Amino acid sequence: MLTTETNSPVSRARSLPLGTAAVADTSGPRPAGADRAVGKNEIRPFHIHFPEAALVDLRRRLAETRLPENETVTDFSQGVPLKTIQQLLRYWQTDYDWRKVEARLNAVPNFITEIDGLDIHFIHVRSKHENALPLIVTHGWPGSVIEQLKIIGPLTDPTAHGGSASDAFHLVIPSMPGYGFSGKPTTTGWDPAHIARAWVVLMRRLGYDKFVAQGGDWGAIIVDVMATQGHPELLGIHSNMPGVFSADIDKAALGGAPAPSGLSDDEELAYERLAFVYAKGIGYGYQMGLRPQSLYGIADSPVGIAGYFLDHDARSLAMISRAFDGQPEGLTRDDILDNVTLTWLTNTFISGARLYWECLENKVSFFGVKGVSIPVAVSVFPDELYPAPRSWTERAYPNLIHYNKVDKGGHFAAWEQPKLFTEELRAGFRSLRKSA
């Protein structure tokens, strides 16, 4: 059960079945003259706590897991190795402590507000430094706001983390619709464009008339789309998965064609990586994009969710497997299980999957050029799905204000390499601070 706290003395949390969220009841008396419409715009403090019964139920299901036999190969070509899942299962049952991440989440200010009829959860941390730059950061799949917890301190309190006061940000980190603690859409239409518009509403509601935005994975698509919608408040964006592929290159890679002639070494590498992603790397995306509601069996199994999430991309899977083999680099065993456990406890596997359906229905390009003309900062992490070449990045973003290749890190950049990620955001947005 989750509870929201409001200023109303009549607010109370309803008890709901395991895996669902309790929503505060604010239907009681209101001050004389209060406008009901204003009530919908309220920002309500939010506290996270799941009953012990939910954790007992999780451990019971883990103990009853039925695993298949070993894969018939010695690499990752058939998916997540049985050994990795056995190690994950053993650690999840015996040593993992959900209450630790619950405490980390509750240590920062959490809120809920209603936008377009849907409850949106977000973390909002204001910097103590004057002239801090407002920043909204969006996670992706299979993610949550947990991925950004490591960057909150360095971004909002830079003087305590090797930066200067002029590097400070006011930070807003929302849970996407259908993910984590946000509401689950009951109708179609919550595609990247709708989410982008909702984020602008959120920032306005928080009093920010100028801000910047950052995203990776789905977040990268959302900030790209937001940048094309003409919001005067949006000064610029940062992406660690930029949409740089022209329509002809994207189509060729999707069809499995050989790399076009005349490409530079960087362009050919990006093309080959993209072609691999389309051929073997995002089968889950097509499955969720076509038939998300049919994935009941996965949604009903904690280990099923774990296996599905671990197989996001080849380089991330290899890194995660090493972490469970005692060689953590970037992500720890706890990091990985935090996200999986959150998805299980909130029962958001299928509601999160529907974003892929929305994307395919609305013909949203995952990796293609979106037509962004406002200022853009790009950071290229070497183990991302593809390393965006400078040449294609400059064409995709004619107002490119920052481009840098960092030494290490992959798809979950803020989560894996928070120090490098923080440094990139500071550098990427530095030139826009005078406009805020």
How far is the C-alpha of 170 from the C-alpha of 124, rounded, in Å? 8
Q: Provide the b/e sequence for 385-395 (b: ≥16 CB within 10 Å).
A: bbebbbebbee
Of the residues 308, 356, 397, 403, only one is catalytic, namely 356
Residue 57 Rama label (left phi>0; alpha psi -120 to 50; beta): alpha
Its sign, for the CA torsion 248, 250, 251, 256, is positive
Q: Is 402 one of the catalytic residues?
A: no
Q: How far is CA 238 from CA 50, 81, 176, 300, 380, in A?
A: 34, 35, 18, 36, 11
Q: Diameter of the chain by CA atoms? A: 72
First-to-final CA distance of the chain: 40
Q: Is 119 one of the catalytic residues?
A: no
Q: Is 411 one of the catalytic residues?
A: yes
How far is the C-alpha of 180 from the C-alpha of 162, rounded, in Å? 31
Cα 209 vs. chain centroid, distance in angstroms?
A: 24
Of the residues 124, 129, 402, 411, only one is catalytic, namely 411
Contact 304, 297 (CB under 8 A): yes
Contact 348, 278 (CB under 8 A): no
- One DSSP character per residue, 327-379 reads --BSB-HHHHHHHHHHHHHHT-HHHHHHHHHHHHHTT--SSB-----S-EEEE
How far is the C-alpha of 170 from the C-alpha of 155, rounded, in Å? 8
Contact 284, 353 (CB under 8 A): no
177 upstream amide cis, omega within 30 of 0 = no
Its sign, for the CA torsion 219, 422, 348, 339, is positive
Given the structure tokens 């730059």, which residue do they identify? Answer: 133
SS3 at position 215: strand
Written as six digits, the tokens of 408 are 């290490």
Its sign, for the CA torsion 29, 31, 33, 35, is negative
DSSP E strands, 87-208: 110-115, 118-125, 133-138, 169-174
Of the residues 167, 217, 250, 338, only one is catalytic, namely 217
List residues with catalytic annotation. Answer: 217, 356, 411
